Structure 1
Amino acid sequence: MKDLIIIFDVFKNLIVFDLSAISKDEWQIFQGYGFFVFVVFLAIVLYAYYFHLYKREKMGERNYEKYAKLALNDDINDSVLESKRSA
């Protein structure tokens, strides 16, 4: 509970640009919790992106096997992966 009060005080001081009121210990606590929240956020985004790719492949909208073979079939005479309409 004490750390939560410190985090809100540091956040309040950051909003009003009173950086001299933040001590080094308070700043380290704020950075530690901020890093943890950031890592959790990135993990959620990564799994959401993975689920998005999995769902699109299962629904048949994309075939990512073709893209995996793109590095192997890199000759000028190879076929185009997707045909796009020109504007």
Structure 2
Amino acid sequence: MPRDFTTEFATFSLDMHHIYKMNGEEWRFAYKSNGQAIFSLIDDPATKVTYELGTLNRMNAAGLIDLKPFGLMPEHLRPAPVEDYDDVSF
């Protein structure tokens, strides 16, 4: 059965506040340079790994990256959807 990529996997984005779980370890995005993304290990920031952006997109499509959006931010500061329509203005 074919996979529905529009609902099964989130659009891959690079953000320093996200947690990226790859190969059983948790990483944070450090910086991007020349078509490559560099991540540092959360438990040991001196440990780095580099991936080509195309490789990251393929890993995400294969389900090899578990993304926790804004996982490194305190919970009360994380962006959340607006649930009160009185706060929405046009």
TM-score tier (shorter): under 0.3
Higher helix share: 1
TM-score for the superposition, normalised by structure 2: 0.23
Greater strand proportion: 2
Instruction: Point out which structure has higher relative CO (alpha carbons under 8 A, 6+ apart).
Output: 2
Query: Who wins on radius of gyration, i.e. which is larger?
Result: 1
- TM, length-normalised to structure 1: 0.23
